[in-house]
Amino acid sequence: MKKLVTGGAGFIGSHLVDKLMKEGHTVRVLDNLSSGKIENFEKWLDEARFEFIKGDLLNIEDVQNAVSDCDVIYHLAANPEVDAKKSSPETHFRQNIQATFNILEEIRNQGDVQRLVFTSSSTIYGDADQFPTPEDYGPLKPISLYGASKLSCEGLISAYSSMYGLRSYIYRLANVVGPRSDHGVIFDFIGKLRENPHELEVLGDGSQSKSYLYISDCIKGLISGEKSDEMVSIFNMGSEDRINVLEIANIVREETGNESAKIKLTGGVDGGRGWRGDVKVMQLDMTKLKELGWEPEYSSKEAVKLTTRATFRSFQ
């Protein structure tokens, strides 16, 4: 049987593909390449155990072909944009909620899939007032369309698991960073400094403080959670600490040789947020996943430094 990775040409997905292939699994990737890159898994293309389907989760025939003969599905494909100015409500609905519904319906129709692994997000918590935030925190009130769409997907998965006996693993991820990432604050900062090495614009008031999870820790966590025997397992995954956006700006300046660049704060919106829907403070309680043997190796600062170096090299 095969492992299906939706979004397997993307940042997290391609690292998961590497892990599964190195462990000897037969892997199929479904990706429409709207943001993912074939080069991220190019080294596996000639392997008999690897199959790539260029297709879309909104196309039912593509979903049928992808799910066929698979026993485990890692559903990572999604529209990751949190900033409402860069992505419409319809896009979040179709690429996140509708796409997840299509996968679940095909799982129900075919009946062969044993486990579904889904990457959700810390944004489902909205502006939490408890840190670190545990999985049973509530009420859940996401403040972005992205967070709302991920929470909707969680609800669908929970219902399908209850009604149709699908064992599911839901991971609420902090900000995942590492090589191959072409999205987020580190990537944006490096791009800005390349355009203007004398000034670095920082969105918001500079006080935003969040947890950053290094990609290798993320991949280990996605595998570790499958030890759980619950029908629906929900896990937080992040680093043990958090780092503020000004610290990130300083790390990027130092690692790229732009220490003299002047930091310019925009002031932000809604009390200093970088954009509408931006959660200002985020740190997750990971006790539940750690009880299964998982531990993050890297702190937020270490994750940011390693990612800055890798991303800066990719620009050169």
pLDDT (tens digit, 9 = 90+) per residue, 99-156? 999 999 999 999 999 999 999 999 999 999 999 999 999 999 999 999 999 999 999 9
Active site residue 164: no
Tell me if 136 sits within 8 A of 145, measured CB to CB. Answer: no
The rounded distance, in Å, linking the Cα atoms of 178 and 229 is 30
DSSP annotation of 163: H
Per-residue pLDDT, 305: 99
Question: CA-based diameter of the chain, in Å?
Answer: 59
Residues 74, 146, 171, 212: which is the catalytic one?
Answer: 146
DSSP annotation of 42: G
- Examine the domain organization and report whether 230 and 247 are in the same domain: no
The total number of structural domains in the chain stands at: 2
For residue 290, is it within any domain?
Answer: no
Q: Is 51 strand, coil or helix?
A: strand
Strand pairing category for 243-244 and 209-210: antiparallel
- Examine the domain organization and report whether 205 and 248 are in the same domain: yes
- Examine the domain organization and report whether 37 and 134 are in the same domain: yes
For residue 80, is it within any domain?
Answer: yes
Residue 197's nearest CA partner among 257, 144, 157 is 257
- Examine the domain organization and report whether 307 and 253 are in the same domain: yes
For residue 40, is it within any domain?
Answer: yes
- Look-up: residue for tokens 């064992």? 167
- Examine the domain organization and report whether 203 and 222 are in the same domain: no
CATH number of 266's domain: 3.90.25.10
- Examine the domain organization and report whether 220 and 92 are in the same domain: yes
Residue with the bigger pLDDT between 142 and 316: it is 142
- Examine the domain organization and report whether 65 and 189 are in the same domain: no
- Examine the domain organization and report whether 233 and 132 are in the same domain: yes
Strand pairing category for 175-177 and 243-244: unpaired
- Examine the domain organization and report whether 311 and 270 are in the same domain: yes
For residue 292, is it within any domain?
Answer: no
pLDDT band at 260; cut points 50, 70, 90 = very high
CATH number of 95's domain: 3.40.50.720
Structure tokens at 314: 């990719």
- Examine the domain organization and report whether 99 and 134 are in the same domain: yes
For residue 138, is it within any domain?
Answer: yes
For residue 23, is it within any domain?
Answer: yes
> Tens digits of per-residue pLDDT, 80-105?
877 656 678 999 999 999 999 999 99
DSSP annotation of 261: P
Work out the percent of the chain whose per-residue pLDDT is above 70.
99
pLDDT band at 316; cut points 50, 70, 90 = confident
99 phi and psi angles, rounded to 5 deg: -60, -40
Q: How far apart are the first and last CA of the chain?
A: 41
For residue 288, is it within any domain?
Answer: no
Provide the residue range defining the domain that includes 262: 178-211+241-283+297-315
pLDDT band at 223; cut points 50, 70, 90 = very high
- Examine the domain organization and report whether 47 and 99 are in the same domain: yes
- Examine the domain organization and report whether 170 and 112 are in the same domain: yes
Tell me if 174 sits within 8 A of 241, measured CB to CB. Answer: no
